[in-house]
Amino acid sequence: MLEIQDFFSACVGTWNSERTYHYPLQNEVERSVTVFSVAALASAEKHQITSASLPVESVVLSEVDRFPGFRIGFDTVSEKGDRVSMNLKALFVPERSIVAPHLLPTDPLAPATPLTAEILGSAEVVRGLYLRDEGYSESGAITGRFTYLPSRQTLELVTYYSRSVAVDQLRLISLTTRLRTIVTYQRPQPGVVPTVINLVGFGLEQKS
Contacts 24+ apart (CB under 8 A), 192-197: 193/111, 194/165, 196/25, 197/24, 197/25
Residue 28 is given by DSSP the state: E
CA distances from 149 to 18, 42, 157, 170, 190 (A): 24, 25, 12, 11, 28
Rounded Cα gap, residues 95 and 119, in angstroms: 13
Rounded Cα gap, residues 170 and 156, in angstroms: 7
Let me know: does 140 contact 134? Beta carbons within 8 Å: yes
Alpha-helical (H) ranges within the chain are 4-11, 43-53
Rounded Cα gap, residues 200 and 206, in angstroms: 20
Q: What is the pLDDT of residue 133?
A: 87
pLDDT 10s digits, 167-199: 999 999 999 999 999 999 999 888 788 899 999
Q: What is the pLDDT of residue 125?
A: 86
Residues in the chain predicted with pLDDT less than 50, given as ranges, are 109, 111-123
Q: What is the pLDDT of residue 196?
A: 94
Domains and CATH numbers, the chain: 4-207 (2.40.128.20)
